[in-house]
Amino acid sequence: MKALTWQGKRDVRVEEVPDPRIEDPTDAIVRITSTAICGSDLHLYEVLGPYLKPGDILGHEPMGIVEEVGSGVTRLKPGDRVVVPFNISCGSCWMCQRQLYAQCETTQVTAEGKGAALFGYTSLYGSVPGGQAEYLRVPHAQFGPVKVPETGADERYLYLSDILPTAWQAVKYADVPPGGTLAVFGLGPVGQFCARIGRHLGADRVIGLDLVPERLAMARRHGVETLDVSQLDDVSGALIDLVDGRGPDAVIDAVGMEAHGSTSGKLAQAAAGLLPDKLAQTMVDKAGVDRLVVLKAALKAVRRGGTVSISGVYGGEVDPMPLMEMFDRGIQLRMGQCHVRRWTDEIVPLLAGDDDPLGVEDLRTHRLPLADAPKAYEMFQKKEDGCVKVVLAP
């Protein structure tokens, strides 16, 4: 089969690789019909390369048709249309019983001190072959895949694999009070959904911040107030002034470790990229290599007693945080990998009707064949051609 493989920093290629096969009774083989490029994939393209090896198959936002199931899978059959969550969870361990699926104890990568295994996402999370491919082996298919209706465009359901439940969790964690104000830093795919979900779940005002014109325009189409951060000298101050001189009740950081405007973090990431893999792994895992400009702005902008919810990915172990200010202002902080299956039953009914309340069919800007994936990665990273979300068709 054809699959997108990592070969080096900013070097991904579509190659012929062996077809996946059933290895365990709880496996399924899914023929991929659509698979998206996630903002988290760009971390692999740039910063987290030391944890990959040439030939690793990328991608963790796939959906398709079940081709084959193992003897231990009774809830799926060949021909079923499914979305595959990015984290691999068993559904029955101590963590899964508490709906903490991203911490599944059956698939936890304990050798690296990490949580549940992820598709297509480095040795830190199990080196599991990903879904930017023609076929995908899905472990723990007795629990993980989400069955969806046979009809309707793939984009109606595809985002259940990651970014839609990730945004849903971020808004739930933000805990915006009824009639309150939510600010969303970063209007990439997750940020777009955070803003729309915030409105859907009852926030009186939602303010989105970004510097890419196409992203700002997309958010405005969905009733979101916007701020172009490239036009602001003091982003946090502008937000505070905009919301009663007090600041938003909740702020979501939907950007993460590669935020614009953080010179020291950018230098640290560049330095890590020049080191041999073993040394670079140590630097990424044990040093403060994240660009924290957005997180610090979020912490300064949220009102006293408010909540900052982090959905953007961070990787450093010793990042400096303004703890005195956080403590003094009584800020609550929530974060973590999304527990996808915790939220899908709430979301699926919103996707099945004709009204599309979350605007899932107004996100994808580019649909390209899998063969064009290398070009798509470059375009997405550089934010060229109005690119907000890329969906690949194997």
pLDDT digits (tens, 9 = 90+) for 249-292: 999 999 987 655 544 444 344 444 444 555 455 545 555 557 88
Burial 236-249 (b: 16+ CB within 10 A, else e): bebbbebbeeebbb
Do 140 and 68 touch, CB atoms closer than 8 A? Answer: no
Q: Which of 3-12, 181-190, 290-299 has the lowest mean pLDDT?
A: 290-299
Max Cα separation, the chain?
A: 61
Mean pLDDT of 233-256: 96
Residue 377 binned pLDDT confidence (cut-offs 50, 70, 90): very high
The 3-state DSSP class for residue 191 equals helix
**pTM (predicted TM-score):** 0.91
pLDDT at 260: 54
pLDDT digits (tens, 9 = 90+) for 90-101: 999 999 999 999
Mean pLDDT of 11-25: 98
Contacts of 26 by beta carbon, 8 Å cutoff, 6+ apart: 70, 72, 73, 139, 140, 141, 142
Please give the full DSSP string across 32-59, using - where no structure is assigned.
Answer: EEEEEEPHHHHHHHHTSGGG--TTPBP-
- Counts of helices then strands in the chain (DSSP H, E): 12, 15
The Cα 29–Cα 1 span in angstroms is: 13
pLDDT digits (tens, 9 = 90+) for 27-81: 999 999 999 999 999 989 987 788 899 999 999 999 999 999 999 999 999 999 9
The Cα 218–Cα 95 span in angstroms is: 37
